[in-house]
Structure 1
Amino acid sequence: MQHGKALAIKGVMSLVVLYLVLGVGFGISFGNVLLITLILGILSYLLGDVFILPKTSNMMATMADLGMAFVIIWLLGMAFTSLSVGSMALAAVIAAIVMALGEYFFHIYILKKDIGFGNRYRTSHNY
């Protein structure tokens, strides 16, 4: 149940950010924004929030999310849209930075709620 609630929070946050940046800012269709959100959300939750965060710190997990978000948004954007490489890279950079800011605070929530497969081994929370 905790993972479901966390995924819902992350999904709403991601959809809002990606729609504002990619949809409103760069004219990418809502359907493509939704697809990017779903793929990015699942991958970043599993890799960044469940795997990396419990073993490292909030800052390390946030930086991993930043890099992962940029790559995933850029590559999926190139596959799903007709934007130029440069325009899509700019959109991905902006979206990844905004997503990373949100992820930092989302990680604090994850740590406080002790959600994650490795959190029980953590001796202190590094917010």
Structure 2
Amino acid sequence: MNKTLVLALKLASALIAFAIALDLFFDATLADIISFSLLVTVMSYMLGDRIILPRLGNRNALIADFFLIYASVWVFGSVLLNSYLQIAWGSIIAAGIITSSEILIHRYMLKSSAANYEESSNEASLNPRLAYGMEMAEEKEPTRDWD
């Protein structure tokens, strides 16, 4: 799995989504679009793709990504942007666009991780004749008959 390709795809989709949601419909600056894109890319990759996707699956990772993007744009947008209408619609539109692009990114990540798992499982297979069993028991303390 090429992590730089995944990060580049996520950053490109975030830049496009915020350009549409914040700049096309409303009046946001280029610095706002780039800062939101970098923030969402890093947070979404670390939380959604590295933690939630392997443990809970694709659907839950997409739901978490949507709410993470919506909440982060809402919180940081209230600091940087002036209009509540811009914050509300911008966060909904951007979260929808980024979540729809996350579907393709998650498919790529799951497909490449499955291919890597198959390659590593073929290389590290054990010879069944060399596999040894192990017995475990609890040691009992010897009795003191001489006291």
- Fold conserved (TM > 0.5)? yes
Which is helix-richer, 1 or 2? 1
Larger radius of gyration: 2
Q: Which amino acid aligns with 2:64?
A: A
3-state SS in 2 of match to 1:26: coil
Instruction: Verify the 8 A CA contact 1:74 1:89 in the aligned structure 2.
Output: yes
If the length of structure 2 is used for normalisation, what is the TM-score? Answer: 0.73
Larger RCO of the pair (alpha carbons < 8 Å, separation 6+): 1
Using structure 1 for the length normalisation, give the TM-score. Answer: 0.84
The CA RMSD measured in Å over matched residues stands at 1.8
Number of equivalences: 116
Name the residue aligned to 1:41.
41
Residue 69 of structure 2 is aligned to residue 69 of structure 1:
yes
Letter aligned with residue 39 of structure 1: L
SS of the aligned residue for 2:82 comes to coil
- State the partner residue of 1:19: 19
Match of 1:80 in 2: 80
Q: Give the corresponding residue for 1:93.
A: 92
How much identity, in percent, do the aligned residues show? Answer: 28
4+ residue runs over 3 A deviation? none
Gaps of 5+ in 1: 121-127
The range that moved more, 93-102 or 64-73, is 93-102
CA distance in 2, matches of 1:13, 1:102: 7
* 1:35 Cα offset (Å): 0.2
Counterparts of 2:14 and 2:92, CA distance in 1: 14
